[in-house]
Amino acid sequence: MYDIVIIGAGVIGCAVARELSKYNANVLVLDKNEDVCAGTSKANSAIIHSGYDAKNGTLKAQFNVRGNAMMDDLCRDLDVPFKRIGSLTICTDESQIADLEKLKERGEQNGVPGLKILNREELLEIEPHIADGVVAALYAPTAGIICPFKLTIALAENACENGVRFHLMTEVTKIEKADEGWKVTTNHGEYLTKTIVNAAGVYADEMNNMVSENKLKIIPRRGDYILLDRTAQGYVRHTVFQLPTELGKGVLVTPTVHGNTIIGPTAFDIDDKESTATTASAIAQVTEKSAISIKGLPTRQVITSFAGLRAREAGKDFILGEAEDAEGFFNCAGIQSPGLSSAPAIGAYIADLIKEKLTLSEKEDFVATRKDILDPSKLSLEERNELIKKEPAYGTIVCRCESVTEGEIIDAIRRPLGARSLDGVKRRVRAGMGRCQGGFCSPKVMDILVREWGLSMQDITKSGGDSHIVIGRTKDGDE
Amino acid sequence: MMMQYDIVIVGGGPAGLAAAVAAKESGCDSILILERDNELGGILNQCIHNGFGLHTFKEELTGPEYADRFIQQVKELQIEYKLNTMVMDISPERVVTAMNRDDGMFLITAKEVILAMGCRERPRGALNIPGYRPAGIFSAGTAQRLVNIEGWMPGKEVVILGSGDIGLIMARRMTLEGATVKLVAELMPYSGGLKRNIVQCLDDFDIPLKLSHTVVDIEGKEHITAVTIAQVDENCRPIKGTEERYTCDCLLLSCGLIPENELSTSAGVELSRVTGGPVVNESLETNIKGVFACGNVLHVHDLVDYVSEEAKKAGETAAKYVRGEITDNRGKTIAIRAESGVRYTVPTTLNPDAMDDLLTVRFRVGDVYKDAYVSVYFDGERVQHKKKRIIAPGEMEQVILQKKQIMQYPELSAITLKVEEV
């Protein structure tokens, strides 16, 4: 019998898990994918919103501002790259300045600090490549950029180290009321639990609708993005939004914590909850719209394009807390933007509710900090050489584009909830994330995965499931 | 620790090997080759097909055999090399930072540096192909490594996008391994590969080549299951109604090679926007004094024989610099320009005093020309006019300039290469 089963190992599920790991409780996280951070959490703008955008009084407004404020401490404790670079919401017509004023007012009511309207001259000083047509912008100094993979993985690892169990590749098929609590049926057996946290992303409606009469409907909203090579950096210093429209926040241009430039997203409502396919017109649209914000952006230096699904619920706000007609079933549903920004606050809030519900006591030996995978490029020459002497694997570069050593890859595999697939390695240490997109390093990373997990090349996948890389031996290939 | 060498060569592939041999034979004894892989030879090691060396050795060799000819010379000449060693940085002052598991990270000061890092393949991301991002999509060279070095098959029903040489070679290789190659689609109205590869790798195996076609959709959430191919118009935009769906479990991409110049950039080397490789003079020296480039890092070649030939030149010149025979090569320069049909030239400048009696200028054209002329102009005057039956983007072309002739034009400011229809 578990105290808590969390469905979904995205940033929300992992944030809840990490908060709950502070208490004496039996916690289990289930996810249908082979790794944490494999759904919406892996494909988004990688930004932390300041919180001016959500309407006053909404959960989105409240949790965004609170989550934003929690980021510094959390990222310091969990060793996650986070930079408060500030955001600019631009307008291209004098008449829209009034809209910026309204946004500023809204933001101030939401509790966003430091908001300021900048005129073109002021803008040019802090964002020199701003497009010619831009007349003014709303500056939000508390906005930031983050690595969403590293945040989610860090939360999961820290939860795991504090005793939370993770069952991956485990898909929930049925949730039923049990004598005491709930019975959760999966493709790998049944689990009994006192409480459930529904953090199932685009599937949160299906989970909720199995237990509650208050039906939810999540209509995934696809967002296409393009990512530019680091050679294109320097064109944009802040997260630059365009004034929001009915279909979302428009296209943003932002640097990433790793020095790439990200452009996107589009906004297409779709039916299929797995449909992360990009379209040519969407990619063209993103590329085209970026020119409204930034002049001369070298969009030809694209290294990849991708699409993510926002888990947008029909009621438009987050749905947080215990379902009225399903005791012990806690929803974190409809977590679209600003979900990543709100995650720490949502995690704390839900954990608090469950602590009360189950009267949990605090753990004495909770470990609040966690070290990220060692990045040797941050060491001095002497330190680096000492490391290589101890661990020669740190002297071998596997991914040449991102300068990733074998030592880092081994660390990514051996730590708690370690990487099992090429994408798992990529999200942890960036091998294959660079300009050649794994062309040179993927066979080498496969060799390391084979060796570390004791698998065959045929077992290695891109991202679990049926995503095998090779199908069998060549005619002369020997076993 | 700080090491010192006269010449440091970055890369132990065909270019680096030929440069090293030439430098040694020109009298330079202090040479170090740095190779990131676990053996010398570079990408030739995975090119197990034959067809290499017809120009250099007058016989058909496989890639590894061709490489071995040079590796043996390197060993006989006792040229030093380090394997499994990645160069992390090159400074404009020619301090090379490298790393391996035995020596750790170390610095080398070099009198001359020869860049010979080769090139990489353009990945799917850079092509903006829409659709899912499943497993089963490989650049042709990655698949070649898996098949030829590791002995694993990436798929059995194959579609190839792009008709670059590696794609064509892999079409044949996969077929010989029992896979079905359904087609090769090429965005351009002409192939980017060698004619002989189209004949020997596609025609001989009845594999269709569809020119002016591209992939417009990729299906399969986890593993690729199908692609949709469509014809494109003259602006390379897909034409509605021409879509054809092909089931497949493997998509290979052979859509161009990009010289790997991240290190060159860190050294301050200026790159050509056309080739992606360094801008060099007749001595294959870059804008940074004492830094030379050769092989595919300079511009993508069609035949390795030309890589060796070019690299030899870089090695010889670097040795001359070491001996002090050339101290300043920044004297009089004549521009070499690419016009009407000629996409680029290597080199782009020449100093008549520094050049040898003959200078090979290599170039590629931007379209297919039949019965056209390759012309060389000295300022306004046409001095060469050679008819060619066919000139194609997939084949590298060259003209030879004579020092003797250039010296007769003391006021010469620019040499221009053109393709002319008459």
Q: What is the pLDDT of residues A137-152, one digit of tens each?
A: 999 999 999 999 999 9
Look at strands B257-259 and A136-140 and give their pairing. Answer: unpaired
In the numeric block, which tokens belong to residue B69? Answer: 């000819």
Find the closest chain B residue to A305 by CA distance: B125
Does residue A392 share a domain with residue A438?
A: yes
- Backbone phi, psi, residue B315, to 5°: -65, -45
Q: Is A468 a catalytic residue?
A: no
Question: Which residue(s) pair with B384 in the sheet?
Answer: B376
Does residue A168 share a domain with residue A131?
A: no
Residue A413: partners with Cβ closer than 8 Å, 6 or more residues away: A419, A420, A425, A448, A449, A452, A453
Does residue A124 share a domain with residue A238?
A: yes
The total number of structural domains in chain B stands at 3
pLDDT tens digits for range A225-267: 999 999 899 999 999 999 975 555 579 999 999 999 999 999 8
Does residue A130 share a domain with residue A155?
A: no
Question: Which residues in chain B touch residue A384, judged by CB atoms under 8 angstroms apart?
Answer: 104-105
Peptide bond between residue A338 and the one before it cis (omega within 30 degrees of 0)? yes
Question: Which residues in chain A touch residue B223, judged by CB atoms under 8 angstroms apart?
Answer: 466-468
Does residue A15 share a domain with residue A164?
A: yes
Question: Which residues in chain A touch residue B84, judged by CB atoms under 8 angstroms apart?
Answer: 396
Which A residues 308-347 touch B at CB under 8 Å?
A: none
Specify the pLDDT at position A260: 96
pLDDT tens digits for range B33-72: 999 999 999 999 999 999 999 999 999 999 999 999 999 9
Any domain includes A73? no
Size of interface A-B (CB pairs under 8 A): 150
- State the smallest CA–CA distance between residue B414 and chain A in angstroms: 31
Does residue A163 share a domain with residue A194?
A: yes
Find the closest chain A residue to B100 by CA distance: A395
Please tell me the number of Cα atoms within 13 Å of A76 on its side-chain side.
5
Question: Which residues in chain A touch residue B101, judged by CB atoms under 8 angstroms apart?
Answer: 388, 392-396
Does residue A335 share a domain with residue A423?
A: no
A476 band by pLDDT with thresholds 50, 70 and 90: confident
Specify the pLDDT at position A249: 59
Question: Which residues in chain B touch residue A463, judged by CB atoms under 8 angstroms apart?
Answer: 135, 222
pLDDT tens digits for range B133-189: 999 999 999 999 999 999 999 999 999 999 999 999 999 999 999 999 999 999 999
pLDDT tens digits for range B64-96: 999 999 999 999 999 999 999 999 999 999 999
Please give the mean pLDDT across all residues of chain B: 95
Task: State yes or no: pLDDT of B104 exceeds 90.
Answer: yes
Specify the pLDDT at position B330: 65
Specify the pLDDT at position B124: 83
Does residue A347 share a domain with residue A410?
A: no
- Compute the residue count for chain A: 479
Any domain includes A132? yes
Q: At what angle do helices A339-358 and A59-78 cross, to 10 degrees?
A: 90
Q: Residue A472 region, left (φ>0) first, then alpha (ψ -120 to 50), else beta?
A: left
pLDDT tens digits for range A391-407: 999 999 999 999 999 99
Interface-testing mutation among B35, B84, B99, B170, with chain A (most A C-beta atoms within 10 A): B99
Any domain includes A54? no
Question: Which residues in chain B touch residue A403, judged by CB atoms under 8 angstroms apart?
Answer: 86, 88
Does residue A212 share a domain with residue A329?
A: yes
- The last residue of a domain, from among B214, B234, B255: B255
Does residue B230 share a domain with residue B142?
A: yes
Element (H, E) at B322: helix B304-323
The answer to whether A20 and A157 are in contact (CB under 8 A) is no
Does residue B144 share a domain with residue B230?
A: yes
In the numeric block, which tokens belong to residue A79? Answer: 């060793």
pLDDT tens digits for range A85-140: 999 999 998 989 999 999 999 999 999 999 999 999 999 999 999 999 999 999 99
Is B135–A462 a contact, with Cβ atoms under 8 angstroms apart?
yes
Any domain includes A212? yes
B321 band by pLDDT with thresholds 50, 70 and 90: very high
Residue A132: partners with Cβ closer than 8 Å, 6 or more residues away: A295
Task: State yes or no: pLDDT of B190 exceeds 60.
Answer: yes
Interface-testing mutation among B166, B221, B239, with chain A (most A C-beta atoms within 10 A): B221
Any domain includes A68? no
Look at strands A319-322 and A329-333 and give their pairing. Answer: antiparallel
Task: Quote the domain boundaries for residue A97.
Answer: 82-144+220-308
- State the smallest CA–CA distance between residue A279 and chain B in angstroms: 5
Specify the pLDDT at position A477: 72
Task: Quote the domain boundaries for residue B165.
Answer: 123-255
Sheet of strand B157-161: strand arrangement: B137-139, B250-253, B157-161, B180-186, B209-211
The total number of structural domains in chain A stands at 3
Task: State yes or no: pLDDT of A417 exceeds 60.
Answer: yes
CB neighbourhood size of B368 (10 A)? 15
Interface-testing mutation among B2, B133, B223, with chain A (most A C-beta atoms within 10 A): B133
Nearest to A388 among B86, B101, B131 (CB): B101
Does residue B226 share a domain with residue B134?
A: yes
Q: At what angle do helices A406-414 and A442-453 cross, to 10 degrees?
A: 40
Any domain includes A76? no
What CATH number is given to the structural domain containing A188? 3.50.50.60
Is B132–A435 a contact, with Cβ atoms under 8 angstroms apart?
no
Exposure string of A327-361, with b = 16+ CB inside 10 Å and e = fewer, is: ebbbbbbbbbbbbbbbbbbbbbbbbebbbebbebe
Does residue A423 share a domain with residue A289?
A: no
Specify the pLDDT at position B325: 83
Element (H, E) at A306: strand A302-313
Question: Which residues in chain B touch residue A381, judged by CB atoms under 8 angstroms apart?
Answer: 105
Task: State yes or no: pLDDT of B123 exceeds 90.
Answer: no
The answer to whether B239 and B148 are in contact (CB under 8 A) is no
A327 band by pLDDT with thresholds 50, 70 and 90: very high
Which B residues 110-169 touch A at CB under 8 Å?
A: 120-121, 123-126, 128, 130-136, 139, 141-142, 145-147, 149-156
Any domain includes A276? yes
Specify the pLDDT at position A75: 98
Distance CA A24, CA A4 (A): 11
Specify the pLDDT at position A250: 74
Task: Measure the N-to-C terminal CA separation of chain B; round to a whole number of Å.
Answer: 62
Does residue B380 share a domain with residue B338?
A: yes
Does residue A434 share a domain with residue A328?
A: no
Residue B292: partners with Cβ closer than 8 Å, 6 or more residues away: B19, B112, B113, B114, B115, B280, B283, B284, B285, B286, B314, B317, B318
Over residues B289-317, the mean pLDDT reads 96
Place of tokens 């890589």: B307
What CATH number is given to the structural domain containing B32? 3.50.50.60
A478 band by pLDDT with thresholds 50, 70 and 90: low
Task: State yes or no: pLDDT of B1 exceeds 70.
Answer: no
Does residue B192 share a domain with residue B215?
A: yes
Over residues B360-374, the mean pLDDT reads 96
The answer to whether A442 and A419 are in contact (CB under 8 A) is no
Specify the pLDDT at position B329: 62
The answer to whether B311 and B404 are in contact (CB under 8 A) is no
Any domain includes A192? yes
Which B residues 19-38 touch A at CB under 8 Å?
A: 36
Alpha helices in A294-392 (DSSP H): 339-358, 381-390
Pick the closest to residue B51 from B65, B34, B30 (CA basis). B65
- Backbone phi, psi, residue A304, to 5°: -160, 160
Residue A42: partners with Cβ closer than 8 Å, 6 or more residues away: A148, A149, A152, A308, A427
- State the smallest CA–CA distance between residue B127 and chain A in angstroms: 8
Specify the pLDDT at position A116: 97
Does residue A349 share a domain with residue A279?
A: no
pLDDT tens digits for range A22-70: 999 999 999 999 999 999 999 999 999 999 999 999 999 999 999 999 9
User: Does A393 touch chain B if contact means CB atoms closer than 8 Å?
Assistant: yes
Task: Measure the N-to-C terminal CA separation of chain A; round to a whole number of Å.
Answer: 44
Nearest to B121 among A389, A439, A470 (CB): A439
Specify the pLDDT at position B135: 97
Residue B246: partners with Cβ closer than 8 Å, 6 or more residues away: B159, B182, B183, B226, B227, B228, B229
